[in-house]
Structures are given as C-alpha cells and as structure tokens.
Structure 1
C-alpha cells in the first residue's frame, strides 16, 4: 500500500511537536542526529537574537533603568515605543501585554486565521505558506523558518505562535509581544475567529465572517443531517506505514468539518479520550470497531488498493465505497480559509454517497 507523503522536515520542531497537535511532526521527530542539530541551531539563533536585541537591533530586554525585563513568559514584555498603546490579553501561558492595534504581525501559526481577518502578516512558516487554500494570498509574507534573526529583521510588533512551552515562547517574547495558543485551544471555529479578531482589532471582520460562514454551512449541515440515516456514523482517520491515527473535532483531516461544523457523529465504540486528543494512534486490529458507516481517510492509496488489502478491504466503508480519500497536503490544514475550501466537497460527498445506500 502506498504511504502518505510525510517527508517534509519540520521547520520548528518545538512548535509542532510539543503541543501534540499534529501527527506529521510527531512522526518526523523520532529523534536522531538531525533533531540534535536543529536544537543546537535554534539555541544558536536565540543567542544571536539576544545579542542583537541587547545592542539595539529591534526591541530591548532592558527597561530604562537598566534592569532586566525577562522573567517568566507571562511576564516578559518587549519594550514598546512610547506612542504605542498596550492592553492585556489572555493566552495559554498567562496574560500578555499586546499592542491595541498591531501593525506588523508575525504568524508562525494561525496564518489562515490571520488572513481570514483581512490582515496581511509580515512573516510566517513555510509549511503553512504551502497550503493550497492560500494560493495568491501571500504577497508580502516572508518565510522566516526557524530563524530568529530573520524574525528580528522584520521588526514585528506582535508574534502569534501555537507553542505552549515557556522556554520557547520566551525567545519570541524578546523580539515582540507573543501570543501563544495551541491549535486545540478553541472549541469552535467561531471562538477562534473571535479571539483573533479581538487580538488584531478586527472584531467587526470576525463577526461578519462568522455570519456569512454560519449562513452557508448551516444549509450544508441540514443537508448532511437529512442524508445520514439514524445512528449512522463517520470516522476520521489517517493511515501510514501500517499505523492508523484517529482524529476528533479539534483536528484537521476533516475532523473539525465533519464533527464540529456538519454535526456528524463518530462511532459510539470509540472511547471519548481518543477523540479528545488532537490525534490518537491505535492498532490495525481495532479498525473494524472504530470505523463508522462512512470514513474520511488521509492516504496515498487508491480505493482499489485499499479494497485489495486484507485488512482495509474487509471494512464495509471501504468495501462499499463509502470512503472519502484525500492526501495530507489537502487534509492537514484546518484554518478558516482551508475549511471554506474543503467543506463543500466533504458535504457533497457524504450527501451523494448516502443516496446510493
């Protein structure tokens, strides 16, 4: 069986591994010399950043009285120009002082969310920038990768990250006020949009997006609910190298769309703690128990290859063609713009498939 393409090297090991958000990076960070080299490179960049900051290239870690301002991440504040008004916002690591009207946003995370709020960030991460759903929307956005030096040169006044480790966020905080929110922090896409709409002084844009989105997806939800039979369920999975991963409502791969937005239900046999995680690995032996009437599957395999497989081919959803197959490059993204680009196809698939039963 062909394997999904999981060969992209993570640009920010801590960003995608420590928060436990995505299996792509969990698999990539299995260890080895490359990981150690990346850690050393990140440390070297951090030390370089500190040197540049202290010498006046960017913001300074010291106050006017010469005392150090760097302590815990929820206390660290970059020196803001006197004419910049600040306010306090809650983050995963505590309260942070941020500009009331940030102008130069670095978005190593939540790139699609920032763009959905009509804000053009100055920086992001190459993996997020490779999203097929953001094509043509990234003029002026610089890929800073894991280079703190490159980030310093862009002089952001706000950094958005999904890292939830103080030691990593502290490095960002020496460059600019940093808001840390793991990807699974928000129960709904509306909550996510309102949080960042407030942060970026775009509350009106967030509310308009929510109104339009709910109007559009409400109709899709009703159609999907009408198409599904009583008690019918949907599973969200990815297969890779003999392993299987299950995704819940706070995940990409279609989990956010099918469960949170379209109101489909997972099989009752799936333990709740597995769905509470961003992803959960389980053994192939449990496939028959955890696979619903319909299956959304991230894979590089074709339907014919899956049907010929002795394990996958015995699943009713595979055998009867009640499976939606897509690649990781299509399914990984879960931001508002990606969801808008994915939801029509997923809803249409399950509605049409249900008609054939």
Structure 2
C-alpha cells in the first residue's frame, strides 16, 4: 500500500510493466534499474530533449507530451502508473487502467520523488546505492576542486523564448552546485518558486559571476541568446570578459531526477577542473 496525493493505493510487488508520467519519474525509474514500457515527456523540445538519457529510452513508447494518450496507455496493460500530481484531473481514468500513484510535484525537493518511486517499485536498496554513488562523486569533485573556487561565484542561467531566467539555489542544479560546496552570486543565493525567476535585459547583472553556465531549451532560445550576446550589457559581464562562460545541456541541468546528476557533475569536472 502506497500513500500518495490521491490517497492510498495497493500496488503490485516488483511491478514489471511500468508507465511513468513525467520526465523526472522516468529518469528516476531508469536510475533504479527499471525500464518503463511507456512514458510521457512534458519537455519534448526540438526532438532533442532526452540527451542525458542516451540510449536508455530505446523501446519505451512515448505516450504523450503533457498528457498521456489514455487509449495507448490502456493497450500497454501496465501493472502500475507512476506520476506527479499534475495528473490529478485524469486520475479517475488512469486508475481504471492500472493502480496509479501520484507524488507531490516539488521542484525544491527532487530527492523526495526518487524515494517515492523507489517505494512504489520496491527498490529502496537500489536507491541507497544511488545515493552512495552520488556522495562518492561529490567527494571526488570537492577534492579535485580544492580551494581554487573558494572565493568564486558560480552563476547559472537558462534562456527560452525571449526570456532570460535566473536559476535559484533551491533548483535541481542549484542543489548539486550547493552539494559541491560552490558559492552562488547573492542574486541567485535565494529560493524561488520552481527554482528560478525571470529577469529583463536591464537586470542582466544578476546573471553575472566568476563562472557563468548558460543553457537554452529551444531554437528560439538559441536565437534570442545569439542576439543578446551582441548587447553591451552581455559583453560587460565579468564572466564574458574573462572568457569564463560555458554552455551546457538544458535537459541534464534541469533533469530533476537521479539519472541526470552524473551529467551535471561531469560538466562541473569538465569546466571547473579540466578546462585550462
């Protein structure tokens, strides 16, 4: 019996035919060693949204973008459906297809969703091993960093359609940066709804730091960034002047699941340790 946002649901032990509803649920399920038979992907953008998953999603049926195709889901005959509370409106329909459990969507506490998925799948031991791996990699990163970034500020922004967004400390990437004992600029060392907040071009100074990580999540975002890079306000950023701007994969840095953590840590090694 699993407690979730819609009550309590009896789920099968070690389910084999799993459907996931959200990218964070998909990533956590895969990290726990279970390959779903079907999944939704709410951020399918420009056919390039599962970069960090590489070949792990081969054979998983895409059931929809923001909402699953119920008929296609039914045809898969799942043992259990796991998702987030975005799907409350269709919960009665989903629960007629298979036992359905919906976790609270909480961007600031992405770690809790891993525990929830592990409970549903009976994979608590695997979850423990995943955290051991994560903390081991963090220790290796901290040792490699030493004290070279002790007085440096690490900034992270992402750019979409005509909008610059500042990543806050309570985001997914923010939590990983914090676990690495790296410091953020004062403007980013705050909590924000959904772990981010928008700024105008005139507020671009809030994006500055000694190191600036940048990502975009659409073609229009790429074009918008390209235009803004010609602006004096962009060129005058300290990180830009010092050639300390690094471009990273959006889906890795916004994964909100355990599977994406290695990709973010890899980037921190790549740009903070191995880049001259």
Asked if these proteins are the same fold (TM beyond 0.5), I'd say yes
Per residue, is there more strand in 1 or in 2? 2
The superposition leaves residues 31-74 of structure 1 with CA deviations (integer Å, 9 ceiling, x where unpaired) of xxxxxxxxxxxxxxxxxxxxxxxxxxxxxxxxxxxxxxxxxxxx
The residue aligned with 2:219 is none
The residue aligned with 1:135 is 54
TM-score scaled by length of structure 2: 0.80
Asked whether 1:173 is paired with 2:95, we answer yes
SS in 2 for 1:119: coil
The residue aligned with 2:127 is 206
Offset of 1:115 from its aligned partner? 0.9
Offset of 1:170 from its aligned partner? 3.0
Structure 2 contact 156–167 (Cα < 8 Å) conserved? yes
The residue aligned with 1:233 is 153
The superposition leaves residues 73-130 of structure 1 with CA deviations (integer Å, 9 ceiling, x where unpaired) of xxxxxxxxxxxxxx1x232444333233322110122111101111111111255795
- Between structure 1 and structure 2, the one with the greater Rg is 1
The superposition leaves residues 233-252 of structure 1 with CA deviations (integer Å, 9 ceiling, x where unpaired) of 22221123542112235545
Alpha-carbon distance change, 92 to 294 in structure 1, aligned in 2, over 3 angstroms: farther
Offset of 1:193 from its aligned partner? 3.2
Alpha-carbon distance change, 320 to 304 in structure 1, aligned in 2, over 3 angstroms: farther
The 2-side partners of 1:211 and 1:99 are apart by 27
Structure 1 contact 247–278 (Cα < 8 Å) conserved? yes
Alpha-carbon distance change, 98 to 348 in structure 1, aligned in 2, over 3 angstroms: same
The 1-side partners of 2:50 and 2:134 are apart by 20
SS in 1 for 2:158: strand
Alpha-carbon distance change, 168 to 226 in structure 1, aligned in 2, over 3 angstroms: farther
Unaligned runs of 5+ in 1: 1-86
The superposition leaves residues 156-179 of structure 1 with CA deviations (integer Å, 9 ceiling, x where unpaired) of 121111233532333322222222
The 1-side partners of 2:93 and 2:103 are apart by 16
The 2-side partners of 1:313 and 1:235 are apart by 16
Would you say how many aligned residue pairs link Structure 1 and Structure 2? 262
Alpha-carbon distance change, 197 to 186 in structure 1, aligned in 2, over 3 angstroms: farther
Offset of 1:330 from its aligned partner? 5.2
SS in 1 for 2:109: coil
Q: CA RMSD in A?
A: 3.0
Structure 1 contact 307–318 (Cα < 8 Å) conserved? no
SS in 2 for 1:120: coil
Unaligned runs of 5+ in 2: 217-221
> Of 10, 24, 39, which residue of structure 2 is paired with 1:124?
39
Structure 1 contact 247–277 (Cα < 8 Å) conserved? no
TM-score scaled by length of structure 1: 0.64
